[in-house]
Copies of this chain bind each other. A is one copy, B any other.
Amino acid sequence: METGDLRKVGLKATLPRLKILEVMQAHREAHLSAEDVYRLLLDEDEDVGLATIYRVLAQFEAAGLVVRRHFEEGHALFELTDIGPHDHLVCVECDYVEEFYDEKLAGRLNEIAAQSEFSIANHTLVIYGSCNRPECPSSKRKNN
């Protein structure tokens, strides 16, 4: 059970928290908004208030379980922390998000920091562009 995961970070193992954690884990490849989590729980007939989801996600964030991200949209997206370091490609047309990890990039970032006499701790990198997936509006336009 994830009950332990919650206790470990000092949170009572309540039903809403367990359910929210479950949903995050069931969609660990996705970037979910509070609203997304809300709907996914409704789909399972789990009736958790939206306010609770916001509160719990904030607690998870404080506990280091999830990270909050702001891409182009007008709302925050959350993802589990345990998937490791990675950056994001975001499609500005359809909000599709892809993750990547690039060794060379990481190396170059360290060199840059070294040149500036910075001790690098971490970074945030988001590349914006148009994905060329068939279902993206940008593709349809090119087909004309």
Contacts and interface: CB of A to CB of B under 8 A. Distances in A.
Interface in A1-37: none
A131 B116 contact: yes
A113 B89 contact: yes
A112 B102 contact: yes
B125 A124 contact: yes
A117 B102 contact: no
> 4 closest A-B pairs (Cβ-Cβ)?
A120-B129, A118-B129, A123-B127, A119-B130
A89 B130 CA distance: 27
B131 A118 contact: yes
Contacts of A118: 89, 91, 98, 127, 129-132
Nearest to A91: B118
Interface in A97-126: 98, 100, 102, 104-105, 108-109, 112-113, 116-126
A126 B127 contact: no
A121 B109 contact: no
25 contacts: A70-B72, A70-B74, A71-B124, A89-B118, A92-B121, A98-B118, A100-B112, A100-B116, A102-B108, A112-B127, A113-B127, A116-B131, A117-B132, A118-B127, A118-B130, A118-B131, A118-B132, A119-B129, A119-B130, A121-B128, A121-B130, A123-B126, A123-B127, A124-B125, A125-B126
